[in-house]
Structure 1
Amino acid sequence: MKDIETLSDIRLLVDEFYGKVRKDELIGPIFDERIGDNWDRHLDIMYRFWQTVLLEEGKTYFGNPFIKHAPLPIFEQHFQRWLLLWKETLQKNFNGPLAEEAYDRADKMGYVFQVKLNAIREEGGRAVF
């Protein structure tokens, strides 16, 4: 099994992962509610995000992922499921340092999002960062 090396690899990873997400009973409805019929656009953004994070090809993503997720009704169990599906998809398709990096980055990102969301909720919805 090979490591993540190209944009084609990232497309495979993202497409398969979001295929699982869309079918998932816990997190699928949250994504469908937010994304609606704009899955092609969302997937393109995710390709560019992971390309920027993992490949040394320059910056292709220019967004703020936290801002997009802040208003969503997502909690620890949602992040756990998201990370589980991400890990399953990575392990099925890739093995190597960049695959490990993809998992580690997703794990850290999920943790930071949870901490920020919890802080905002504790402050009655006001941003504290």
Structure 2
Amino acid sequence: MTDIQNLEDIKQMVNSFYGKVQQDDFIGPIFNEKIQNRWPDHLEKMYGFWQTVLLDVRAYSGSPFPPHATLPIQKEHFERWMEIFTQNIDEQFAGPIADEAKWRAGKMAEMFNYKIEYFRNANQKPLT
């Protein structure tokens, strides 16, 4: 098994991950309801995001949090997302960049969950 090295690896990682997400009984319906027929656009955006984060290629700009801010999700949804993400990486890649992907995904899930909870508890709308 090799590490994540280029855009083709990023595409493989993203496509296989979101393929599993779409089929998942727990988080799949939330993603499918939100994204609907815009999966190709979402995947393109994710290629750019992970290319920027993992390969230091400036392929993404924007703020990843706002689209997630109002989703009907709880900590358990983030845990399931991470479970699928980690398993997906471990099935295909091994090395420091693969480890970095899992670490960054975990930090992102933690931060998104925290921010969503904060806005819910404060009964405020997040800035978009």
The amino acid that maps onto 1:23 is Q
Secondary structure of the residue that 2:26 maps to in structure 1? coil
On the 8 A contact 2:66/2:126 being kept in 1, the answer is no
**For residues 126 and 81 of structure 1, what CA distance do their matches in structure 2 show?**
25
CA deviation string 1:62-98 (max 9, x = no partner):
1211101001111101000000000011000000000
* Paired residues for 1:1-129 under 5 Å: 1-57=1-57, 59-127=58-126
**For residues 126 and 72 of structure 1, what CA distance do their matches in structure 2 show?**
12
The amino acid that maps onto 2:110 is Y
Gaps of 5+ in 1: none
Q: How many residues align?
A: 127
My pick for the range that moved more, 6-15 or 119-128, is: 119-128
What TM-score, normalized by structure 2, do the two folds share?
0.96
Change beyond 3 A, Cα 1:95–1:114: same
Secondary structure of the residue that 1:46 maps to in structure 2? helix
The amino acid that maps onto 1:115 is Y
Gaps of 5+ in 2: none
Change beyond 3 A, Cα 1:60–1:126: same
Secondary structure of the residue that 2:65 maps to in structure 1? helix
Runs of 4+ in 1 over 2 A off after TM superposition: 125-128
- Across the aligned residues of Structure 1 and Structure 2, the Cα RMSD in angstroms comes to 1.1
**For residues 126 and 43 of structure 2, what CA distance do their matches in structure 1 show?**
28
Shift of 1:127: 3.6
CA deviation string 1:97-123 (max 9, x = no partner):
000000000000000111111110111
What TM-score, normalized by structure 1, do the two folds share?
0.95
